[in-house]
Amino acid sequence: MNMWSMIDEFDEFLNNPLQYIISYIRDIPKLIVTVFFSWIIFVLYFIYIHPTQNVTSKSLINFDSIGEIKIGMTVQRAEEVSRLQLLPITSSGLINKGCYYLEPQTGSGLERVWFMVIKDAIATIEVSRNYSLHTANGAQVGQSIDEVKAIYAKNLVTKDNTLVYTPAKKKFRIVFETERGHIIGYRVGRLPEVDYANGCFDYKSKP
């Protein structure tokens, strides 16, 4: 507002102060309505356009899931329930037709977490050198082999440089990769894909 406008406003107030005050009071409901609807739009934006992710570094990993993302889900469904964008690892689709990997969007807190996808369904969830994530039983990268053996007890067997856990649902596994007596990564998922030591290199597409 420039000086002349301010002078005009002041003259209007002096000429009819009551009317001037009433005109401002009348504008208050409009201001309240404007603020209210602006707040509603702001909330809806964060719920529907920029939603809070449901799968985080605090989510637990089970033999068939990480948080809300379940083995066997389509990629679209996994993105919907997790509120995450799953992005293709560019080179992975060149390894073997029909098998590729996705990773969560940057900034999700899920670094070095990968999803093997076969025929648009998630087959395995793989964790490599991520020290934040835990399995539902409490195992994590960095633990010793003895610690993981104590957690899974009789349901754990040693196979080459891995520890393999078989849950009650026999078609699933958790495979812990070991190096120098410690866990360096693990993968969970369904058979036979979870047994692929070389990931998509081991996948053979069926005609």
As a whole number of angstroms, the distance between CA 149 and CA 26 comes to: 73
Place of tokens 């406008």: 5
List 183's β-bridge partners, or say none: 178
Q: How far is CA 65 from the centre of its chain?
A: 12
Residuewise pLDDT in 10s, the chain (207 residues): 455 555 555 556 556 666 656 666 666 666 665 666 666 665 555 445 545 777 888 999 999 999 999 999 999 999 999 999 999 887 655 556 689 999 998 888 899 999 999 999 999 999 998 999 999 999 999 999 999 999 998 889 999 899 999 999 999 999 999 999 999 999 999 999 999 999 988 988 655
As a whole number of angstroms, the distance between CA 129 and CA 140 comes to: 9
Cα-flanking dihedrals φ and ψ of residue 131, to 5°? Answer: -90, 0
Per-residue burial over 25-56, b if 16 or more Cβ lie within 10 Å, else e, is eeeeeeeeeeeeeeeeeeeeeeeeeeeebebb
Domain boundaries, the chain: 3-49, 60-202
CATH class entry, domain 60-202: mainly beta
Nearest to 60 by CA among 139, 4, 167: 139
As a whole number of angstroms, the distance between CA 20 and CA 11 comes to: 10
Using DSSP, state whether 40 is helix, strand or coil. helix
Other beta carbons within 10 Å of 165: 22
